[in-house]
Amino acid sequence: MRLARHVYEKRGYLAGDDRSRLKDLHDMFQDKEIKAIFCTRGGYGAMRLLDDIEYEMIKENPKIFAGYSDITALLLGILEKTGLVTFHGPMVRGLASKNQGNFESLLNVISSNEPLKLSFQEGTTVAAGKADGKLIGGNLSMLCHLVGTPYLPSLEGCILFVEEKGEALYRLDRMLNHLRLSGQLKGLSAFVAGGFEECGDREAIKDLLGDVLSGLEIPMAIGLPLGHGLQNVALPIGLPAELDADSKTLSLLETAIT
């Protein structure tokens, strides 16, 4: 294990200045001995790095790169600019949590020789059906803030997954409608919502999704255990998958191993 040089630095609400954080990211990708990069925590200010990342260097030095929350900006930016699969999943800060299955799920996704199938039977079907497509997603507010930038991959034909924490219902309404009005949701294959921690009543969130997204006429489900909750299963962003909203299963159609 190797810690980035500036991992303990602070600058206001940021984990150090932009130059130091960017150098750590580049150094980790350039180091031939490093096979996987796990973000320490959620990453306020991650979007500040997007314009200065050396994407061609990252493409020439592919590695496992994992995180969630604001790290969504880096996960999607790297996928869009390099075509490399990235991983939405637990970070180092969460390894001390009571649910050690989170890190095990990440190891399983990045090392399995067989496509995986995730079942979320405690979830809820919002719109019945089954569909496949490339798996794209992450934190809802970060997805919204990437609209209009060159770092958001096309969602055409994709299964979109989202998660969020601490946003009131009216803010979720605003964000979902922003994605809809911007045209990003046209042509989606399917939609699955993960955890909405501290966002209010789950039934109200389900009703909101049904109201805002009903016109898409695609399979939709809520309750996939990912994101800011106690359980945070890992998902490979950029791999093909199938959502069965009726049986509440998400199946990867390929492995992350190449």
DSSP string, 73-91: HHHHHHHHHH---EEE---
Catalytically annotated residue among 69, 105, 141, 189 = 69
Closest by CA to 47, choosing from 11, 75, 27, is 75
In the residue annotation, 197 being an active-site residue is answered as no
Q: In sequence order, what are the beta bridge partners of 243?
A: 131, 250
Catalytically annotated residue among 6, 105, 163, 167 = 163
In the residue annotation, 163 being an active-site residue is answered as yes
Q: In sequence order, what are the beta bridge partners of 63?
A: none
Tokens representing residue 144 in the block: 């919204």
Distance CA 255, CA 82 (A): 19
Q: What are the φ and ψ backbone dihedral angles of 118, each rounded to 5 degrees?
A: -105, 130
Cα dihedral 229, 190, 157, 53, rounded to 10, equals -10
Catalytically annotated residue among 80, 189, 228, 242 = 228
- Residue 195: helix, strand or coil by DSSP? strand
In the residue annotation, 20 being an active-site residue is answered as no
Distance CA 32, CA 26 (A): 12
Catalytic residue IDs: 69, 163, 228
